A and B are shown apart, each in its own frame.
Chain A
Amino acid sequence: MDFELMANSFPKLLNATVITLKLLTVSLIIGLFIGLFFAILRLNKNIFINKFAYGYSYVFRGTPLLVQIFIIYFGLGQIEYLRSTFLWLVLKEPYWCAIIAFALNTGAYTSEILRSAFQTIKPGMIEAGKSLGISNKIIFYKIQIPIAIRQSLPAYGNEIILMMKGTSLASTVTLMDLTGVAKYIISTTFKPIEVFIVAGGIYLFMTFIIHNLIKFLEKKYSF
């Protein structure tokens, strides 16, 4: 056991954790909006809109995240037309490509979580709102959305942890996130176990924090 290496690599890995956290929060925020959007589409009665939303979540849940990142980072750059538009400013950056892939991926899972949450809302609650003379819009924002958020908290907590692990794939498109730096240190020192303990410890700590945060929120919003 090389404790000196562990102590030396800790600040470097902690620095890289900042990138991991940035990737995670930005993609979760974008992914939440994508997920909400597609969950609402799934509840639509129009069969085409419904099928489109289902297809989106099916494709992104049925393929590995690695393929999605590679298509966006290596694949989209190949289209000449895209290179001439302003989108290229975003797509030439590995950072934004990774975020787009993560956001689309977590969006697909989030849409499933929110959809099932919307569907478990008892019709009586909506009817109660209607009988009080509240408009459909307010029923949606004041009744359906808060209940759906509470219902989906446990599943969404899992999704956050899965996404945090997913950000490690950013290292495959040259980003130096926690896993990227860990790999770099391993491949220069050939001490995989020591680096794994430190980097894995940081990941576990983040999992622990997220897990407890969600538990706290669940308690706070329980009814």
Chain B
Amino acid sequence: MELLAFGDTGWGDELFRATLMTIAVSITAMFIGFFFALIFTPLKLSKIRFLNFIANSYTTIIRGVPELLVIYLFFFGGTGAVMFVASIFGYNEYIEINAFITGAFAIGIISGAYSTEVFRGAIQSIDKGQFEAASVLGLNKFGKFFKIILPQTLRLAIPNLSNVWQITLKDTSLISVTGLVEIMRQSYIAAGSTRDPLFFYSFAAVLYLLLTFLSMKLINKLEVRYSRGF
């Protein structure tokens, strides 16, 4: 137990901070994912085939390629890409991107592909009559979407989004390969310096279980809230 003490003697405070980091990366990645879903879901539902093709390529590629490979692409390619863009604007110094941003972006793009599929499915499962009724009421396109379709989509999407959240949360463990100090990385450091990997990796597993358990409880509450009136 003294291994987990807070302060200089134990790893308690380090692991606590690492847990907060995992939560922060997961939430950031989830929101980046929502942003991507916001772009690609309309493309998927669009009647223009070229736009369909773009959105389908995005979700197929991301869901068919290992997360770790995507992370390596961002880790090794991210700096190069940013420096290339900067060089267009005449900035030629070396730029190092923060591990948090690279990681959150990589996981966010992955999570976005799953979110896109969830939103597509949710919108498609809304009764056609709802769209027609909204048109009959004389609502314009935005009113129709935000007042009628979106609230119903959310209700249908939340159970599946909770799966996406679980996947995202677990995927953040992979960012440890880029050196961001989240639960996995901190356990790796602690295991290396105390020569007690069994304890620290098991403790990491407990932390992840705790996070998934607590977030499920929270999401269940949200689900109840958004199902009101049905």
Contact = CB atoms under 8 A, between A and B. Distances in A.
Contacts of B124: none
A66 interface: yes
Contacts of B184: 64, 66-67, 70
11 contacts: A64-B184, A64-B208, A66-B174, A75-B197, A78-B197, A164-B66, A179-B66, A179-B68, A179-B72, A193-B73, A204-B61
Given A59-B209, A63-B208, A63-B209, A74 B191 contact: yes
A182 B72 contact: yes
Contacts of B223: none
Interface string B111-139: 00000000000000000000000000000
B196 to A, nearest CB: 7
Nearest to A73: B197
A78 B200 CA distance: 12
A78 B176 CA distance: 22
A131 to B, nearest CB: 38
A76 B77 contact: no
A193 B70 CA distance: 10
Which of B66, B73, B80, B196 has the most chain A CB atoms closer than 10 A to its own CB? B66
Contact of B72 (A64, A192, A208): A192
Chain A at the B interface: SS class: helix
Nearest to B191: A74
B69 A169 contact: no
Contacts of A79: 198
A200 interface: yes
A39 interface: no
B191 to A, nearest CB: 7
Interface residues of B, number: 37
B205 to A, nearest CB: 5
Contacts of B64: 161, 165, 203-204, 207-208
A183 B176 CA distance: 15
Given A75-B197, A76-B198, A182-B72, A59 B77 contact: no
Closest 9 CB pairs of A and B: A168-B66, A75-B198, A192-B77, A207-B64, A64-B173, A74-B197, A192-B76, A165-B66, A64-B170
Contact of A74 (B72, B170, B201, B205): B201
Given A200-B69, A204-B64, A186 B209 contact: no
A208 B195 CA distance: 43
B220 interface: no
Interface string A130-170: 00000000000000000000000000000001001111110
Contacts of A165: 64-67
Given A64-B184, A64-B208, A204 B197 contact: no
B213 to A, nearest CB: 7
A124 interface: no
